[in-house]
Amino acid sequence: MKTVFTYTQPPNPPSTQNNNSRVGDEPDAETRRNALLALVELSQTLGVSVSPNDGDTGHGLTRAQLQRALATLLRATGDYATDKRGDVGSWCRQAALKGLAALLALLPPAAPAPAPKDGQTAPPSSPSSLLRVGGAVRAAGYGRGTLVDLRCEGRVACVRFAPGQPGAFFFPYQHGTGLFPAAAVVPCGDDAPGSPASPPVIGSETEPAAEAEPLVDGALFARVVAAALQQLCEKLDVVRECAGAVLLDLLTLPSPPLPPLPDRPLLEAALLPPSPSPSPAERTSLYKAGNPAVIFPRVVQLLGSSGCYHRAVVAGMLISIGGLSESVVKAALGAMVEWAQAQRRGEAGVARVGRTVLEVLDAHAGEDRVVLPALRTVDLFVQKGVWLEADLFAGPTGEPGPEGGGSLAAGLLARVKRELQGCKDVKKLLACLSVAVHLLEPLPLSSSPSPQSVDDGDGDGGAMRLLMVLLGHRFPRVRKACAEQLYTRLLLHGDQLLAHATVPEAQDEVLECLAATCWDTGDLAGVREARDRVCRLMGIAPPAAASAGAAAGAGVLSGSGRGSKPKKEDELASYAALVKEMGY
């Protein structure tokens, strides 16, 4: 009896039946990480063509494919996705960093293949991928022949030598066919094997030096290093450790296949271990566990380097300093303060950091992941003296600010205002508030005390008006914090800040009003009345009046002076009153 087995395809693949694990149309960090791992493994399997040209030889990745893989990995270093498990994007960032180092390590050495026995200098490159079956090739020491076949994934060349060539004597069988490592065979320009014009002389072949564009240019390499540097400065220990190891790898890769790196001596001095040839144990211990106390003092040295590294370091430090983990914040801020003190001689370095901070805030406008730590960092910078008053309010920062403001303070104020537009996040509001308090600048006495003159939105008028808006904010916590911070600031510097006030004893009255009013009460109208009184005392038009004019941001923030707002305000006010009444 014969049994017949039949195999029928199930009607649906299992994946569509198991409904519990279906999360279609959702991002999946593990898939992204696996794609990066696969990309690297694939590249390692195929290798990279020795040929720097675009010609597809069927072996290894071509230039375009390599560039594409590198671009994919570089993009993945900016993967900051989070879900309920936390910073899952960090898996992708780590995979991408390791992958970049692995891919750059794959670059074929530009060094010549080992010379044949006669000691003649070998050809400058061994472009085995240029080899074409049927084409004319030359094997050093054996003369010219025809490439019959490529074997072992292109590593072995099978060459048939024409009669009369030296190779034909060495390989008498199979019509003068010999096997060579592909690296020892170079293609000839003309397709006439054994042309009589060039009589073969053993060991006398010379090759024209084929100067070609490198597979990876210096700018791309610098971008890779900058991406790793940024990760080295960020807040997760495990990512810093990974980035440190990758940077050590990148900086110790042989230089000939890799292009020269901008500011390489500076990078090496800052990042490599002190001994010239570190042992593996030394290398692993240097960045072990991403120790912030080790890493940040090293990294800040790179703040003086060229554009891309500087930007990467600043962007990373902003995240770290404004972060929440105590050890990282302390180490990063400490390193930054020390660096700034060392820079005091020439102010250029500190001002440059300021410009870069503005750039980062512009590049990530509206992204709380970056903006919130950056605002906290700015606050800490001013508190700890990384930026002094002179830095904040110095005239033009050297380049025209994107939003017209000349000084760093004006630039920061413009960013703070932009971030406050429609913001309902108390943490962010408070961070903006602390920055705005630092941006208060005493107006010069010569300026007109008329309230309308400070309507341009920059300088002290802008910062003080912003604070007045926050003093009348819908959220009680914001109002209270604003009153407290303003009180402290006016107590310390009131004589300068209120120099232009209309009332002589303005400072005392303002302080009294700030202290006497209960700012976190539910009575919004009463609070706003008190706020308007403060404004009048300081000689500033109350924001409600200003919002009817051109200052749109202030109007949105205060929510007053608009026809559509009052109803909502009443709701909120009553809700706040309810909460207060119920004792929550």
Partner 1 sequence: MRDTSSSHHIPLKTNTTTAPSERLQARVVDKYLGAVLADDNVAVTRGFTLALGALPARLLRPSVDAILAALDEMARPDRCVGLGIVHGWADGRA
Residue ranges binding partner 1 (CB under 8 A): 15-16, 18-28, 30-32, 34-42, 45-46, 58-59, 61, 65, 68-69, 71-73, 75-76, 78-81, 89, 92, 114, 116-117, 139, 141, 149-154, 156, 170, 178-181, 184
State which residue, 74 or 524, has the beta carbon closest to partner 1. 74
231 in Cβ contact with 316 (< 8 Å): yes
CB of 245 to partner 1, least distance (A): 21
DSSP string, 212-235: ---SS-HHHHHHHHHHHHHHHHSS
CB of 216 to partner 1, least distance (A): 17
- 341-362 in b/e burial notation, b at 16+ Cβ within 10 A? eebeeeeebbbbbbbbbbebbe
Between CA 236 and CA 234 the distance in angstroms is 6
Chain-centroid distance, C-alpha 432: 23
State which residue, 363 or 578, has the beta carbon closest to partner 1. 363
State which residue, 204 or 448, has the beta carbon closest to partner 1. 204
State which residue, 168 or 302, has the beta carbon closest to partner 1. 168
CB of 536 to partner 1, least distance (A): 50
CB of 400 to partner 1, least distance (A): 33
CB of 169 to partner 1, least distance (A): 10
Among 153, 152, 172, which residue's Cα sits nearest to residue 161?
A: 172
Calculate the alpha carbon distances from 424 to 420, 429, 473, 474, 523 in Å: 8, 7, 11, 10, 19
243 in Cβ contact with 232 (< 8 Å): yes
Between CA 382 and CA 357 the distance in angstroms is 13
Q: Where are the alpha helices (DSSP H) in 107-183?
A: 166-170
CB of 153 to partner 1, least distance (A): 6
447 in Cβ contact with 453 (< 8 Å): yes
State which residue, 62 or 343, has the beta carbon closest to partner 1. 62
State which residue, 139 or 483, has the beta carbon closest to partner 1. 139
Between CA 112 and CA 128 the distance in angstroms is 12
CB atoms within 10 A of CB 87: 19
State which residue, 117 or 567, has the beta carbon closest to partner 1. 117
Starting at the earlier edge strand, list the strands of the sheet with 143-151.
177-181, 156-161, 143-151, 136-139, 185-187
CA-angle at 478, arms to 417 and 562, nearest 5°? 60
CB of 486 to partner 1, least distance (A): 41
Between CA 336 and CA 320 the distance in angstroms is 11
CB of 288 to partner 1, least distance (A): 29
Phi, psi of 147 (to 5 degrees): -80, 115
State which residue, 23 or 582, has the beta carbon closest to partner 1. 23
CB of 196 to partner 1, least distance (A): 24
State which residue, 40 or 490, has the beta carbon closest to partner 1. 40
216 in Cβ contact with 43 (< 8 Å): no
CB of 61 to partner 1, least distance (A): 7
Between CA 227 and CA 218 the distance in angstroms is 14
Between CA 353 and CA 367 the distance in angstroms is 20
313 in Cβ contact with 303 (< 8 Å): yes
State which residue, 81 or 573, has the beta carbon closest to partner 1. 81
